[in-house]
Structure 1
Amino acid sequence: MSSMKLGKEWWQTVRYAIKEEHRTVRLISVLVTVGVIALVLIAAVNGVSVTVG
């Protein structure tokens, strides 16, 4: 019985860790996407001002 309980707790820990990892990956991908969009906008603005100037 105790080994089954230990296995169940271990599985719950693994599932929790995987869930946390997915959250972290999603957060990082959102931050990277926002960063890329910001860089593109900055590059576009600088490109336009350099072209116009």
Structure 2
Amino acid sequence: MKLDREWWRTVRYAIEEEHRTVRLIGVLVTVGAIMAVLIIISNGFSVTIG
């Protein structure tokens, strides 16, 4: 099976898309964690279990 340039271009594009998705998820998780910490601090830190 001969691999032409178009195939490699498709593979590279798919890998770049995956990296972008991972980076986006990482940013969203980070922003969510910061927001959660700010909400906890602003409401006073009290955790009720049970």
TM-score of the aligned structures, taking structure 1 as reference length: 0.73
Bigger-Rg structure (1/2): 1
Q: 4+ residue stretches of structure 1 with deviation over 4 A?
A: none
Higher helix proportion: 1
Flag structure 1 segments of 5+ consecutive residues without an equivalent. none
| Identical-residue share of aligned pairs (%) | 69
Aligned residues between the structures = 45
Flag structure 2 segments of 5+ consecutive residues without an equivalent. none
TM-score of the aligned structures, taking structure 2 as reference length: 0.77
How large is the RMSD of aligned CA atoms in angstroms?
Answer: 1.7
